[in-house]
Amino acid sequence: MAELDDPVRDLRERIAAASRVCVLTGAGMSAESGIATFRDALTGLWSRFDPARLASEEGFRADPQLVWDWYAERREGVRQAQPNAGHRALGDFARRRPGVLTVVSQNVDDLHQRAGNADTVRLHGDILADRWLEPCRRGRACDPAAAGIDRPPRCAECGNLVRPGVVWFGEMLPPGAIEAAERAARAAEVMLVVGTSGAVWPAAGLAATARRGGARVAIVNPHASEIDGEAHVVLRGTAAQLLPRLFG
């Protein structure tokens, strides 16, 4: 009856009793920290930019300075942002219950890490990291972060361009990331999917993976997502409102 009366309390009790919890997060997790989501009709970045132009290698090669400047603006936004109550609830839980929680994020910000989930599985890379656009033709191991202040920075010796360390559309995920995420989803007794539209694979498939592994699957999102059907329970609310009640 608890579930019928109060799905939040039921889920909170399941999380408290679990020895393995996996939380998959998307851009909605950072929305209350002031970082725009991609597809939110009002503030979403995609409503103002052509994603194919900005978040792809061909877009970067076509106009390196435009793409570099867009990422520089987003990096500054990430640096100014603070983890919200949802991030803090997950970080505090990890401190109280070491080894129970695995956070898997599609986000390229560092708010989970700053809140205390240092081992967050980054599916789409790190916006604050630099990397070379090409493998170095001279086999050198130069540091992209030391490549100067051009927009984008370039290697003084071979002209290689620096690009942000994020996964662009059509690119492979970081080695091992999806495997680590699938391991955590399969092992989870409770799987929480927070703040994602479920539009991008393979991240969107993790809810079904967890469900097949026997997990109780719940979604936290103020709006409908493409993977609501994979959840046993959908909580219509925001990360900062609900996560403190579920993990507090």
Q: Of 126, 185, 225, 231, which one interacts with ligand APR (CB under 6 A)?
A: 225
Q: Does residue 247 touch ligand APR according to CB under 6 A?
A: no
Instruction: Please tell me the distance from the alpha carbon of residue 203 to that of residue 21, in angstroms, as a whole number.
Output: 16
What are the distances in angstroms from CA 98 to CA 42, 101, 117, 119, 246?
A: 38, 7, 10, 11, 17
Residue 136, φ and ψ in degrees, nearest 5: -65, 125
State the residue for tokens 């360390």: 165
Give, as ranges, the residues between 147 and 186 that touch ligand APR (CB under 6 A). none
Closest CA to 117 of 89, 144, 143, 136: 89
Q: Of 165, 174, 222, 244, which one interacts with ligand APR (CB under 6 A)?
A: 222
Q: Does residue 206 touch ligand APR according to CB under 6 A?
A: no
Say whether 124 is catalytic: yes
Tokens of 142: 């130069």
Stretch that binds ligand APR, among 65-73, 74-82, 133-141, 188-196 (CB under 6 A): 188-196
Burial of 8 (0-12, 13-18, 19+ CB in 10 A): middle
Stretch that binds ligand APR, among 3-11, 88-96, 196-204, 205-213 (CB under 6 A): 196-204
Q: Does residue 238 touch ligand APR according to CB under 6 A?
A: yes
Q: Does residue 199 touch ligand APR according to CB under 6 A?
A: yes
Residues 235, 15 contacting (CB under 8 angstroms): no
Give, as ranges, the residues between 71 and 130 that touch ligand APR (CB under 6 A). 106, 124
Residue 173, classed as helix, strand or coil, is coil
Of 116 and 237, which has the nearer Cβ to ligand APR? 237
Closest CA to 248 of 96, 30, 144: 96
Q: Of 67, 239, 246, 247, which one interacts with ligand APR (CB under 6 A)?
A: 239
Please give the residue ranges that form the binding site for ligand APR (CB under 6 A).
26-28, 31-32, 37-40, 44, 106, 124, 194-197, 199-200, 220-223, 225, 238-239
- Give the catalytic positions in this structure: 124
